Amino acid sequence: MDGNGRWANERGLPRIEGHRRGADAVKRALKAAQENGVKIITLYAFSVENWNRPKDEVDALMQLLDRFLQEQLTELVKRKIRLRVVGRYQELPEHICERLSHVEAATAEFTDYTLALALNYGARTEVVDAARAIAQAAQAGKINPDELNYEQFAQHLYTKDLPDPDLVIRTSGEARLSNFLLLQAAYAEIYFTPVLWPDFDEKQFKLALTDYAARERRYGQTAEQLQG
């Protein structure tokens, strides 16, 4: 969800105004996802690197998240959308952790649609956390290292109960993944758009889906194999 800062700069507004508009775009994206039958949407809302931003901006982002969770609880329940957090969430401010746990618990029974929020997320941190957990399990004799395969490894990622993403969308014209779901996105289609996140609306969402629908996913096979 990149481009909030630039959206604000272009209008001579403070960066936080861009994030505020970004939060509105989050609500639109969530609605567009459900209306278009996208069952799981994962939003990269705060990375482990984002702590390095000025304190005012970090505080404002936490406040926006808190308000979003407060406002959206009823909406998520009404629309039967489950909330899942992906990331080191216990390191977030305590009141945010409590709010997240509350919303997760209140929506846990819903199985059709999921909103996953990547918070305090970094793919490298995730892999190291998984490696640590596996090493500990091996030390305790619960895992045989010689038999470890990717499926078992993936059971130690934050996304263990979520399928891999089919499509990754990055806004604002940057063409990089920035430490987002690096393992899970191994076979994902990637869509880069110059649109800044606050301007990403339902029309943009549909354009991304149409682009995705025209892709041929080969998973290492040849086009001929897939046709046969």
Q: Does 50 bind ligand FPP (CB under 6 A)?
A: yes
**Cα-to-chain-centroid distance, residue 226:** 30
Nearer Cβ to ligand FPP (65/76): 65
CB 25 within 8 A of CB 198: yes
Given the residues 50, 129, 201, 211, the one annotated as active site = 50
Nearer Cβ to ligand FPP (165/198): 198
Q: Does 2 bind ligand FPP (CB under 6 A)?
A: yes
Q: Does 115 bind ligand FPP (CB under 6 A)?
A: no
The Cα 44–Cα 17 span in angstroms is 18
Subset of 123-182 contacting ligand FPP (CB under 6 A)? 172
Alpha carbon of 181 to those of 61, 137, 166, 167, 212: distances in Å?
21, 23, 12, 11, 18
Choices 3-11, 73-81, 133-141, 176-184; region in contact with ligand FPP by CB under 6 A: 3-11
The Cα 142–Cα 134 span in angstroms is 9
Please pick, from the candidates 17, 22, 123, 168, the single residue that binds ligand FPP as defined by CB under 6 A. 22
Query: Cβ 20 to ligand FPP, closest distance in Å?
Result: 8
Q: Tell me which residue of 74, 76, 174, 175 sits closest to 117, measured CA to CA.
A: 76
Q: Is 203 exposed, middle or buried (0-12, 13-18, 19+ CB in 10 A)?
A: exposed
Choices 64-72, 124-132, 146-154, 185-193; region in contact with ligand FPP by CB under 6 A: 64-72
Summarize as ranges the residues that interact with ligand FPP (CB under 6 A): 1-6, 19, 22-23, 26, 43, 45, 50, 61, 64-65, 68, 117, 172, 197
